[in-house]
Structure 1
Amino acid sequence: MQDSYYPPFATVCGQCGVVEPKYLHHVRHCATFRRLCTTCVLRLHPQCFCPTCLEVYDGSPPIDAVVCCKCYSSSHPACLSPEFSGTVTSTMTLSRCSSVCASCENPNLLVLNLNRVESSDGGRVVDRIDLNAARLLLAAGKIAAMSMSKAEVVAANEAVKRAEEAANARKSAGEALDHLARLMVKEKSDKKVGNVGAGVGVVDVSHMDNVDGKGDVSGKVLEPLNAVELEVGKEVVKVVDVVGGKNLGGDSVCGNGCVKDDMLVKVVENGQEHCCGDVVVV
């Protein structure tokens, strides 16, 4: 019941609401895509055609066109009444002249009326298009085609603009990710350098007698110290390279009596030699 009462949306004009299942035109009007009947297409685009001869202008109206004072449509001077066209003498006068166009004088001039006649074969009633209706349909179709062509250009430009914006956004996102990766690598390297710097130090063996040879100090350098008990006043006998086992001589002892790092130190305690690796004796 409701389906028969309310017509489908595709068959209704978006401007006047008339039900026109056959002759609806796709038009982009005021940045909106609409489906309009022939009469509404012509009335919403008065500057695109001559209301008298229904000639559609390619682009802008001619320079000698006469503008209507009501709907601002542009009419050919030859399409106007002989009395009015005879008074016009120059283009400057034409641009300043204002008159009422034929569609404003007769509003039914742009209305599409289909003549309903009986067919000769079966006697059923059909709609017949006469010459005036054909001219109206042709003019409305040309205007709709021009409107959709302009809409295509606008859509193409908008697509190119959106593509450029997307490319720029993608480039910015990539640069941001690269910057973040560099910051993470730098942070990790700084942590490694800090850990290495914190692990290198000087061990004072003069106080090792207070911990009974098992001092709780981090690092593998204290492992040799846990094997023997060191006391104050031990005599340094010989310094040997840890890797090669060569005698490094006096260069391994600093000027203040300390032994350089990464050396194997031999000390004499009660006539016996004890080795301490990677220790700086102060």
Structure 2
Amino acid sequence: MSQSVEEQPSDSVSGRRCTVCFTTRPSILHLLLYRGLQHHLCTACVLDSHTDSFCPTCFDVFLHNPPLPHIRLLCKKCPSISHLFCVPDVASSSDDYLCPPCSNPNFTFFCITPNHANNAIEINPHLAKQLVVAATIASESIHNAVVMARYNEEIRVKEAVVAKAEATEVLRRFNNLLDNYGHQIGNDTGESKIHEAKGCSSQSPDADDDTFVD
């Protein structure tokens, strides 16, 4: 029996394909925000799309604490930030510095080669650092998304409370207008009846006089 559409796992969710590079990889996929939407990205694509969050040489993460200006180097082609002590051959005032990905067209983050015998992946310390960086970036991304969602929800709740209060006030004013209009109609009707009664009473003596004359 074939599975329904809902039961069939997509390639990205099942851990077989990255949303960005679409390359089938026997590696971990990370769930994070990418271009405003949640996507599953491979480790290489997470690192490649967040080059300003880590040093591309030692892979230290600095999401909220980038290196101080006098101990860092900025790539002239991308937002990548490198420790000055990771590239000692480059002067700190150099404006021509290129990070490893920009200086080498064949550079690839998290370059792994599965064992052809058992298709196993060997994670050495260098690759492990890259994996930790990608996982940290993904975790921070999802955390920020949750915080923003809660913030937006609080705003919507406050707006709903204000809208309810305004609607209640409008309804109260409308009811007051209806009450005033009803009282006015009642008063006008009462005055008309009084005038009619007075008119009838003023005509009664004349009728008696006429009858008497006849």
Give your verdict on TM over 0.5. yes
Residue correspondence of structure 1 range 246-257 to structure 2 within 5 A: none
Query: Aligned runs of 1:113-262 on 2, under 5 Å?
Result: 113-116=112-115, 118=117, 124-201=118-195, 202=198, 203=200, 204-206=203-205, 208=207, 231-232=208-209
TM-score by length of 1: 0.62
Q: Which has the higher helix share?
A: 2
Tell me the SS of whatever aligns to 2:191. helix
Q: 1:113 to 1:103 in 2, by over 3 A?
A: same
Separation (CA, whole Å) in 1 of partners of 2:10 and 2:153: 35
Residues 34-73 of structure 1 mapped to structure 2, 5 A cutoff: 34-63=39-68, 64-73=71-80
- Deviating more after overlay: 61-70 vs 144-153: 144-153
**Deviation of 1:43 (Å):** 0.6
- Measured in 2, the distance between the counterparts of 1:127 and 1:9 equals 19
Q: Per chain length, whose mean CA-contact separation is higher, i.e. which structure has more relative contact order (CA < 8 Å, sep 6+)?
A: 2
Per-residue deviation, residues 98-128 of structure 1 (Å, max 9, x unmatched): 401122233434134143254xxxxx44333
Q: Percent identity?
A: 25
Structure 1 158/76 Cα, relative in aligned 2: closer, same or farther at 3 Å?
same
Equivalent residue of 1:232, what SS?
helix
Q: Secondary structure at the match of 1:163?
A: helix
SS at match of 1:116: coil
The alignment covers a number of residue pairs equal to 197
Partner Cα separation in structure 2 for residue 117 and residue 21 of structure 1 = 12
Report SS of the residue matched to 1:127. Answer: coil
Question: Structure 1 stretches (4+) deviating beyond 6 angstroms?
Answer: none
The 1-side partners of 2:10 and 2:131 are apart by 23
Instruction: Give the alignment partner of residue 97 of structure 1, picking from 95, 98, 104.
Output: 95
Q: Which structure has more strand as a fraction of its residues?
A: 1
Instruction: Determine the structure 2 residue equivalent to 1:108.
Output: 107
TM-score normalised by length of structure 2: 0.80
Larger radius of gyration: 1
Distance 1:113 1:125, change over 3 A: closer
CA RMSD of aligned residues (A): 2.7
Unaligned runs of 5+ in 1: 119-123, 209-230, 235-268, 270-282
- Tell me how far apart the structure 1 counterparts of residues 103 and 129 of structure 2 sit (CA, whole Å): 19
Separation (CA, whole Å) in 1 of partners of 2:180 and 2:159: 32
Q: Are 1:32 and 2:26 an aligned pair? A: no
Cα deviation for residue 55 of structure 1 reads 0.9
Contact 2:21 2:45 in 1 (8 A): yes
